[in-house]
């Protein structure tokens, strides 16, 4: 949703217009135009879902990509509702505290009536309906990684990390700064809230009617990244990550002392309130334990282990690259978020540093591949014919 405020605080009140006054097309025409514009995303999703079913039948699996589809729809609605709330809350604070917008409530009502249009709803609808199928298939394929290709690459990635970082593991360089209660606490929660940030940006771009070519480029790049990096390359480069190194590979576990130390630090994340001690959870450790216990299960939604390349980093790089299109301040926040997710992925034991480097390279490739495809004259003319 394009919620940027372009009027100064002393601007004239917003003048409302009806749909007919704005010249909005009727829903059938808008839906057809939306299907055409979203065609790359929808066709890729259809092919992806079909491929997942091919794997299901070829491996003789009982579980299917659609087994929890209705729960995924409910989860999607819930996360998008949370994303919409976060967006509105930030917009409200911006208008009230920074822009000092007069007559704020009437201004909000007027802007919302202008922003919530049939055009926007029809543009969003096909993507939102297809997204749960895509998420289910992604989780389905991620869980299959060790079955298709058992984890084997971790020792090589660990050695490569040491070679690239001058004979020391990356966490050893970062430990003097980050292995303390406050920075570790911040990294833990930033990494935990990655999905909220990702979903918020995703929703804003799904609803972006102001910059539709940028919208489609970002969405297509993310979908390609999830399939190419999160499934295909994750299977080829099958690896579990530092936190599981000692559980999978016998011998010296270079990560064991570090992981034990950060869990001990997390054990002191507590405050006392009226004589009651409140313990803050170490969400990274909790999730790592859950994923390991669930690795052999059949309930696939949200589970699955893979390290290389890092999809967290790839998707965060795409968010950062998108932020550049919205000015310097947005870019600072976008690349700052990427840097924090990268540091957290290393220090919390989720990823080797090389996972992050490959994730950024993969994100760069997906962004430019999406741009190349959409910039072809024939493709651009067909997808955006309704705007010509």
Domain ranges of the chain: 24-387
Cβ neighbours around 313 below 10 Å, total: 26
pLDDT tens digit string along 135-153?
999 999 999 999 999 999 9
Q: Is the pTM of this model over 0.85?
A: yes
pLDDT over 60 at 99, yes or no: yes
Predicted local distance difference test score (pLDDT) of residue 230: 97
Mean pLDDT over residues 214-221, rounded? 98
Q: Lowest-pLDDT range, 67-76, 110-119, 379-388?
A: 379-388
Cβ neighbours around 18 below 10 Å, total: 8
Q: Please state the φ and ψ torsions of residue 106, each to the nearest 5 degrees.
A: -65, -35
Q: What DSSP string describes 92-122? A: HHIIIIIS--SSHHHHHHHHHHHHS-HHHHH
pLDDT over 60 at 10, yes or no: no
* Separation of alpha carbons 275 and 8, rounded Å: 49
Query: 218 near 318, Cβ under 8 Å?
Result: yes
* Separation of alpha carbons 188 and 194, rounded Å: 10
Cβ neighbours around 144 below 10 Å, total: 20
Q: Which residues fall within 8 angstroms of residue 309, CB to CB, at 6 or more apart?
A: 229, 233, 234, 237, 355, 358, 359, 361, 362
pLDDT tens digit string along 67-91?
889 999 999 999 999 999 999 998 9
Mean pLDDT over residues 303-323, rounded? 96
Q: Please state the φ and ψ torsions of residue 279, each to the nearest 5 degrees.
A: -100, 125
Read off the DSSP letter of residue 33.
H
């Amino acid at each position: 949703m394009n919620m940027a405020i372009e009027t100064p605080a002393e601007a004239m009140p917003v003048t409302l217009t009806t749909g007919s006054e704005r010249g909005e097309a009727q829903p059938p025409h808008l839906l057809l135009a939306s299907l055409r514009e979203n065609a790359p995303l929808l066709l890729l999703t259809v092919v992806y879902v079909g491929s997942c079913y091919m794997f299901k039948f070829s491996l003789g699996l009982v579980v299917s990509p659609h087994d929890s589809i209705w729960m995924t729809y409910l989860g999607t609605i819930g996360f998008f509702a949370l994303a919409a709330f976060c967006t509105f809350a930030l917009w409200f604070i911006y208008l009230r505290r920074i822009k000092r917008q007069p007559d704020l409530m009437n201004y909000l009502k007027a802007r919302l009536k202008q922003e919530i249009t049939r055009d926007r709803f029809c543009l969003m609808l096909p993507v939102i309906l297809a997204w749960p199928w895509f998420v289910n298939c992604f989780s389905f394929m991620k869980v299959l990684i060790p079955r298709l290709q058992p984890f084997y690459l971790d020792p090589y990635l660990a050695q490569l990390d040491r070679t690239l970082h001058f004979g020391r593991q990356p966490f050893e360089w970062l430990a003097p700064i980050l292995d303390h209660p406050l920075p570790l606490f911040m990294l833990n929660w930033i990494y935990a809230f990655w999905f909220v940030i990702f979903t918020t940006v995703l929703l804003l771009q799904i609803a972006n009617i102001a910059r539709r070519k940028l919208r489609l480029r970002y969405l297509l790049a993310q979908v390609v990244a999830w399939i190419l990096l999160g499934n295909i390359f994750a299977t080829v480069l099958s690896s579990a990550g530092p936190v599981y190194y000692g559980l999978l590979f016998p011998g010296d576990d270079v990560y064991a002392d570090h992981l034990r130390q950060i869990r001990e630090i997390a054990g002191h994340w507590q405050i006392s309130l009226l004589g009651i001690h409140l313990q803050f959870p170490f969400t990274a450790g909790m999730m790592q334990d859950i994923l390991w216990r669930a690795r052999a299960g059949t309930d696939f939604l949200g589970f699955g282990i893979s390290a290389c390349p890092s999809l967290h980093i790839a998707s965060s790089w795409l968010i950062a690259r998108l932020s550049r299109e919205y000015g310097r301040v947005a870019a600072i926040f976008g690349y700052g978020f990427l840097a924090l997710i990268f540091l957290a992925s290393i220090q919390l034991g989720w990823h080797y540093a090389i996972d992050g480097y490959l994730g950024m390279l993969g994100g760069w490739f997906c962004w430019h591949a999406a741009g190349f495809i959409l910039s072809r004259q024939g493709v651009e003319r067909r997808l955006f014919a309704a705007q010509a």
